[in-house]
Structure 1
Amino acid sequence: MSAHVEIFTKFACPFCYRAKALLDAKGVAYIERDASGGPAREDMLARSNGRTTVPQIFIDGHHVGGCDDLMALDASGKLDPMLAGH
């Protein structure tokens, strides 16, 4: 079983592209939500303890942070088990 991944992004955000590229390289399906405004932005702010930068990434409902946080999880070997739903 694979994890449910949700990523809040904005258009032309280089960190968003990097995070999505890593997920794509791992073959992970994810839901991308536009955090430019409206309900999606409000949802992101509420779920990420007010963090306003993008991307904000959630794996199985757990807030893992932004692009650098995702890259650090991958470098430490902790990302793959999370993506596998373990």
Structure 2
Amino acid sequence: MNAPAQPEITIYSTAVCPYCVAAKNFLQSQGRTWTEVRIDKDPAERTRMVERTRRTSVPQIFVGETHVGGYDDMIALHRAGRLAPLLDGGE
């Protein structure tokens, strides 16, 4: 029986964002990899992020197509025991 594929993690971030760094450090500590989208370098990506999230702050974190939110949202999910199953491809 195959385990479900791990969904791709996407982080919308900027260069000078301590919560972005904290989010990446946390994910790294969990052995995860991600794709970083720098909205400070690409205004079109900033627009896309706001359209997808209805938020203007960074980081904005997606696991697959699931919008996790920002750093605090991700840590709250982790503390509730709901982040690992999401990262592992479950619900």
Q: TM-score range by the shorter chain?
A: over 0.9
2:44 matches 1:24: no
Aligned 1:52-63 pairs, distance under 5 A? 52-63=56-67
Deviation at 1:52, TM superposition (A): 0.5
Structure having the higher Rg: 2
Normalising by structure 2, we get a TM-score of 0.89
2:46 matches 1:38: no
- Structure 1 alignment gaps of length 5 or more: none
Normalising by structure 1, we get a TM-score of 0.93
- Structure 2 alignment gaps of length 5 or more: none
User: What secondary structure does 1:58 align onto?
Assistant: strand
Runs ≥4 residues deviating over 2 A? none
| 1:64 equivalent in structure 2 | 68
Letter in 2 for 1:31: T
Inter-partner Cα distance in structure 1 for 2:48 and 2:28: 24
Inter-partner Cα distance in structure 1 for 2:61 and 2:72: 11
Letter in 2 for 1:46: E
1:85 to 69, 83, 89: 89
- CA RMSD between the two structures: 0.9
Q: What CA deviation, in whole Å up to 9, does each residue of 1:41-79 have, x standing for no partner? A: 011011002x00000001111111100000101111100
